[in-house]
Amino acid sequence: MSQPDDVAFKAKHDPALALPLDEKHEHTAVQAPPAYDGHEQNHGALEDAPTEEEIRTLRHVSDKIPWNAYTVAFVELCERFSYYGTTVVFTNFIQQTRPITSRTGAGGHDGQSGALGRGQRASTGLGTFNTFWVYLLPLFGAYVADTYWGRYKTICVAVAIAMVGHVLLVVSAIPTVIDHPDGALGCFAVAIIVMGIGTGGFKANISPLVAEQSKNTYLRIDTLPSGERVIVDPAVTSSRIYMYFYLMINIGALIGQITMVYAEKYVGFWLSFLLPTLVFCLCPVVLFICRKRYVRSPPQGSVLSKAMRTFIFAQKGRWHLNPVQTVKHLNDGTMWETAKPSNIALANRPSWMTFDDAWVDEVRRGFHACSVFVWLPLWWLCYNQINNNLVSQAAVMKLNGLPNDIVNNLDPLALIILIPVCDILIYPALRKAGINFTALKRITFGFYTGAAAMIWACIIQYYIYKHSECGKYAAGKGCEPTDINVWAQTGSYVLIALSEIFASITGLEYAFTKAPKNMRSLVMSVFLFTNAISAAIGEAFVSLSEDPLLVWNYGAVAIIATVGGTIFWLQFRGLDAQEHELNQLPVGRMFADQDTVEPLTPEEMRQRRESLGAAA
């Protein structure tokens, strides 16, 4: 948020900057759930609402997590089991040649599993496309949910579509189909496209649905059995929900990946695709049983188009041939004020302007959240290395009978251990010590730990080239694995896991807490879309994803993540101060009675602008 925008925000929500004219329009305020929204006079709305002093001094804690949230998380566990259980063997299925002694592609104890034999560049390219596809489609799934079907129905339809994709994936791995590699590859490609459509509709909506099961939306004072007075904070509750939501994701991923790798190695690819499909069948069962217990947000029409119209309307008259004037007028602090119905005469309001002022504030907050996600593709670039290049790196190391794609399970294993440690020990200790480890600080740390993981991989790759009998062509045909133990990769996976806790989990939390209620799927899909952008950027690195350039690959990604994290913090560090204010904005209405929204007079608008200018 720019400084003038900050001034505008405070002018509306800080009593010290409020104008007397606001009292004239007090009857236009939205009747929101009791919440602290920055107005001192609102503290009397609830006996347990905190004052500004208490917000600054008391420890913030989480509310209890409702059991409904755990059932949604279990559905996610099953879906992630099916997704990661299949994708973990994609690299070997595409890259490695089918063993002569096996029809199913199983390599056995000492052999290398494979099927299509298309090489590392093809496996990296298709893997990157799959990542791009499954994180692009959430934009479509979010639009459908927010506009037409709602989250629950969209999830159910997405599950049905993904089921078709899973069946096609099993068909592509049947031995008689693998006998015809071109046909198997075509069936495989169709399968990942269909699965991507289902995954897109699912991912955009399951994350908001799990957090919506917590009904507490305002700050309140509570007293612990120890006698300590604390603040029950919805933002901390959302953070905790997403921590355990992510824990369930990684339990599903860990079990799916380990079991399917061994199914691939000792039975064949058909089994490693079939078992995840069977587990995925649990998703519709749980969704059906709990259908009447879930808290649901109904669709409210074309939210995206209305939000974009508001954004464009707010910029009217602010663009000039002189770029300096354009920047000045876009950041003078009044841009979003001009898009509020109370600032426009009823006769001059466009027909699509059906909302109230509070909804404009929510949309502004949502746009700021989306702007925060701009740099995240550079972090995802680090994370995506574990899905292909680090698996290939393991194949040229000393495995001692392990499948080369088993080691990347260190990532979900580390997450299963580290998430409770952060939730139970580290984060509470920081809050008790008065250290405000905000969402944006956590994301910044995520960039740096991701970069550290790539530096580790870069060093390992350097020593692989140094010790390989084939030098910088360690993955070439006829080359024996190096004497470097595959567990040397542990550091990369643990650091990546830490960066996920700081960047990915926090990103989910930030997308939910900063989005307008009727745009949560959309903002969440924008966060997920950053992975798709990263996958597109990753395509540019495909040429570096083979010998002898892999050291450059890991080194370049580390540098990019470090620079990206630094720019991220420098650009958005000012948002930290408004964290609680942004979280406690009143809930707006997209369809409000416009007759009750009395417009400001020209004199009142002049006074408001003068007040904003004086505050600046």
Task: Give the residue from 518, 460, 516 showing the smallest Cα distance to 489.
Answer: 460
Higher pLDDT pick, 608 / 69: 69
Task: Give the residue from 369, 362, 25, 604 showing the smallest Cα distance to 612.
Answer: 604
**Rounded to 5 degrees, what angle do the CA atoms 352, 302, 319 make?**
55
- Which of the four pLDDT bands, split at 50, 70 and 90, describes residue 591? low
- DSSP assignment, residue 483? S
Task: Give the residue from 126, 72, 94, 447 showing the smallest Cα distance to 296.
Answer: 72
Torsion of CA 28, 513, 145, 200, to 10 degrees: 160
> Residue 405 to residues 27, 441, 467: CA-CA distances in angstroms?
63, 33, 22
Name which of 80-94, 150-164, 180-194, 595-609 the model is least confident about. Answer: 595-609
Q: All domains of the chain, ordered by start, with CATH?
A: 3-23+33-39+301-355+586-615 (no CATH), 60-299+363-581 (1.20.1250.20)
pTM: 0.74
Name which of 65-69, 284-288, 546-550 the model is least confident about. Answer: 546-550
pLDDT score for 592? 58
pLDDT score for 17? 34
Q: How many CA atoms, within 13 angstroms, populate the side-chain half-sphere of residue 20? A: 2
Q: Average pLDDT over the chain, rounded to whole?
A: 82
Name which of 18-32, 103-117, 277-291 the model is least confident about. Answer: 18-32
The pLDDT of residue 600 is above 60: no
Encoded amino acid at 6, one letter: D
- In Å, how far from its chain's centre is CA 479? 40
What percent of the chain has pLDDT above 90? Answer: 33
- Kindly report, residue by residue over 204-251, the tens digit of the pLDDT: 899 999 988 987 778 889 888 988 899 888 888 988 999 999 999 999
Higher pLDDT pick, 347 / 271: 271
The answer to whether 279 and 256 have CB atoms below 8 angstroms apart is: yes
Rounded CA separation 206/204 (Å): 6
> Residue 223 to residues 31, 65, 147, 227: CA-CA distances in angstroms?
28, 18, 41, 6
- Positive or negative, the CA dihedral 439, 442, 444, 447 is negative
The pLDDT of residue 24 is above 60: no
